[in-house]
Amino acid sequence: MSFAFAVTGTQGSARAADFTTPRGVVRTPCFMPVGTRGTVKGITPRELREAGSQIILANTFHLHLRPGEELIERLGGLHAFMGYDGPILTDSGGFQVFSLTDLRKLREEGVAFKSPIDGADCFLSPEIATGIQRALGANIIMAFDECPPATMEGAALRESTERTLRWLERCLSVGLKPHQCMFPIVQGGMDAALRVESARRTLAIKGDAVGYAVGGLAVGEPKDVTYRMLEASIAELPANKPRYMMGIGTPLDLIMAVDRGVDMFDCVLPTRNARNARVFVPGGGLNLRNAEHRDNPSPIMEGCDCYACKSGFSRAYLHHLHKSDEMLGGILASIHNIRYLIRMCEEMRAAILGGKWEEFKASAKVA
């Protein structure tokens, strides 16, 4: 068995675990940097590793459109293609397709859409999305799900949630390569009962999955709703399997999710924000473009062990780089933000293993 999951410590619902994959052990809680098009924007694989990255995410939707999974498979798979030897998780493309509200048409068979690159007619289905991920060579493949908007409710939401279950069965009909596994995704919109039902029926379809994901959250709903829906989604999931909450997040999101039993996260926020000069610091964030940083000799964050901070690059220098639209501004800020979230996961893990989770939560400076 090339995948295994061993919980090594718990504090309430929060847990620390060792998630064994064919590309190495992932120590959780774990933040996965997002490499949308086969590159975490602006960062070399070496810098990613130095930032403590254990596993990264890549996007099926984008890689399918360009350069295409056939090419990547022929060149030895996504690991070889992008020079990253750790485990890779690919999303199914569902989230991106459903974001194309004007460009897509949903049928039971799948989703037809226009390529945002060249307008070409494209089609994704459970079988196609799984086949693409298999060809990419991802270690963790996500089921192709429907991602309803936060506002969907009633019969439409039930139909959407049931479609995701029907699609899961079709995803599972596609054979994977030996070093691959598939995570089903719990949906159910902003309806707690439907989320519980989605989780139960997901387990009925695939009780022996390597891990399970919670999707369709952090899509615009209030935070308290996010957390309630997360709790409903997770309550039924087995304790001995990794739980991946998709698309978060902020330092606060990570703590709230870990506190509810989540093990894995991904989000474009740290790198997207970084390219816009916004960086994480204890207590919140700051925008390096603001004039207050113009002549500040301090690093982004005192004591931070990221390459940017420990090398002594000042806020003043980063302010200058961002004001001048120099690439290095986004590069250094991205390295900092990724390291910030990964270090926070390391600290959460240490707190859980050390029996100090409540103290960690109480003292965490997040916003």
Beta carbons within 10 angstroms of residue 181's beta carbon: 20
Among 6, 12, 18, 80, interactor with its own copies by CB under 8 A: 80
At CA 59, angle to CA 56 and CA 63, rounded to 5? Answer: 120
77 touches 137 (CB < 8 A): yes
- The least distance separating its own copies from the CB of residue 276, rounded to whole angstroms, comes to 14
**What does the alpha-carbon distance between residue 337 and residue 81 come to, in Å, rounded to a whole number?**
25
Stretch of residues binding its own copies (CB under 8 A), selected from 11-19, 165-173, 244-252, 306-314 = 306-314
Among 26, 43, 147, 157, binds its own copies (CB under 8 A): 43
- Closer of 27 and 293 to its own copies (Cβ): 293
67 binds its own copies (CB under 8 A): yes
**If binding is defined by CB under 8 A, does position 154 make contact with its own copies?**
no
Which residues, other chains included, contact 116 with Cβ-Cβ below 8 Å and sequence gap of 6+?
65, 100, 103
Site stretch for its own copies (CB under 8 A), options 37-45, 125-133, 148-156, 204-212: 37-45
Q: Are 84 and 23 in contact (CB under 8 A)?
A: no
Given a contact cutoff of 8 angstroms between Cβ atoms, the answer to whether 109 and 96 are in contact is no
Of 170, 200, 272, 323, which lies in the binding site for its own copies, with binding defined by CB under 8 A?
323
Q: Are 246 and 213 in contact (CB under 8 A)?
A: yes
CB 288 within 8 A of CB 65: no
Cβ(259)–Cβ(29) below 8 Å: no
Q: Give the range of 66-74, 106-114, 130-138, 145-153 binding its own copies by CB under 8 A.
A: 66-74
Active site residue 91: yes
Rule CB under 8 A: say whether 311 interacts with its own copies: yes
Q: Which of 82, 147, 219, 245 binds its own copies (CB under 8 A)?
A: 82
Query: What is the residue type of 343?
Result: R
* Gyration radius of the chain's alpha carbons: 20
DSSP letter for 309, please: H
Token pair, residue 329, equals 């501004």
Q: Is 84 in the site for its own copies (CB under 8 A)?
A: no
DSSP-assigned beta bridge partners for residue 91: 59
Residues 219-248 that bind its own copies (CB under 8 A): none
Of the residues 3, 95, 167, 313, which one makes contact with its own copies according to CB under 8 A: 313
Contact between 33 and its own copies by CB under 8 A: the answer reads no
224 is catalytic: no
Q: How far is CA 232 from the centre of its chain?
A: 20
Catalytically annotated residue among 18, 91, 191, 224? 91
Stretch in the footprint of its own copies (CB under 8 A) among 128-136, 215-223, 284-292, 320-328 = 320-328
Positions in the binding site for its own copies (CB under 8 A):
37-39, 41-46, 66-67, 71, 74-76, 80-83, 294-295, 297, 307, 311-314, 316-317, 319-321, 323-324, 326-328, 330-332
Return the active site residues: 91, 266
